[in-house]
Amino acid sequence: MPGIVDIHGHITHPDLFKRFPMPPSLLDIEGMLDRKSALGIDTTVVGSPVGFGTMMPVPGLDNYAQPLDQLASFHEWLASEVEKHRPRLAAYVYLNPLGGDAELEQAAQTARDGPFVGLIVNTSVQGRYLDVPEADDFFGMADELGMPILLHPPAEPVGSSSVGDFRLVEQVGRFLDVTMCLATLVFSGRLEQCPNLRLIAATAGGAIGLLGNRLDSAYAPRHYGGPPPSAASERSGPPEVRGGPGPGAGGPPIARYTNQIAAPPSEYLRKVYFDTANLSAPNQLANIGLTGADRLLFGTDSPPLATPLEDCISQVNELPLSEASKERILCANARELFGLD
């Protein structure tokens, strides 16, 4: 079998260690690659989900207020590390998907000119998921660029200000942010409007693999008498609301909504890729049931996570799949998706 590809790792610019608390593993690039090589992981795709920032809580820090020249300098450093360690290292270009035209243009140019294989963006930005109109230009750019996009939770997921224990933000809030981001992307019609997008959901997609039936139920809620009207029917005339009177006092809440998609949500989720960076066998099995083995990509989130790499590999090898399917998850899917061969 060709060498394993880890599509979810991180490294950090040395200067950031002088400014913020950081897990030391993020600085030891050579050691990380050697440890992975010893276990058969030949390539790691790395990126920063915060650019020249930090995932650790720092009072007053706004990861999204980064000057373009700072982001350019960060990507120059990242490109130099890829060149130094190629082919064991590959990288994503970071950008704020709601950052505006200048940042989008710079990120696209960086992706085209440098040794990068994809983009990495946050699943929410300052409390907003990527279904907002401000993300229209990003999705247009991404569709045109044609690179895989790793959807990674932000340092401060939606609702994190209400959680006093950072461990829960890190291990639960970020996991759920990926889940809700995918749900909003499906319901808003993003995946239908941009059918060529190749989205990779980090942390095994959060809990989304367990929620296909719930999303389909939300799309066509039987307890309100059937699905809400489609966008097309709204444009052609006033909708008929099933199960009760129209919007207003006494009317069903569902009457306020319109379906933006033509098929049940689970149909669109089958087009998403999922990494395996979550040591939960039920989570992996749910994703396999949703998409099949061809949409799973081996990922460890290491560094910075200290989960034993052997456990990450064993998790895939212990799945009730054929050897050919396990090989696809460990290496073949990623090599095809990123063009690593």
pLDDT given at position 200: 98
pLDDT given at position 256: 66
**Residue-wise DSSP of 214-255:** HHHHHHS-GGGTSPPPBHHHHHHSPPPPTTS--SSTTS-GGG
The CATH code of the domain at 4-220+268-338 is 3.20.20.140
- Read off the pLDDT of residues 2-17 as tens digits, 9 standing for 90 and up: 899 999 999 999 999 8
pLDDT above 90 for 93: yes
- Read off the pLDDT of residues 49-88 as tens digits, 9 standing for 90 and up: 999 999 988 888 899 999 999 999 999 999 999 999 999 9
Closest CA to 57 of 163, 179, 175: 163
pLDDT above 50 for 246: no
Question: Using the 8-state DSSP alphabet, how is residue 305 labeled?
Answer: -
The residue-averaged pLDDT of 153-180 equals 95
The residue-averaged pLDDT of 273-291 equals 95
The residue-averaged pLDDT of 179-204 equals 94
Domain ranges of the chain: 4-220+268-338, 227-263
pLDDT given at position 262: 87
Q: What beta strand segments (E) does 10-77 contain?
A: 41-46
The residue-averaged pLDDT of 93-116 equals 97
What does the alpha-carbon distance between residue 204 and residue 207 come to, in Å, rounded to a whole number?
8
- Read off the pLDDT of residues 220-230 as tens digits, 9 standing for 90 and up: 776 666 666 66
What does the alpha-carbon distance between residue 160 and residue 204 come to, in Å, rounded to a whole number?
20
Q: Mean pLDDT over all residues of the chain?
A: 90
The residue-averaged pLDDT of 309-320 equals 97
Question: Using the 8-state DSSP alphabet, how is residue 165 labeled?
Answer: -
pLDDT given at position 203: 96
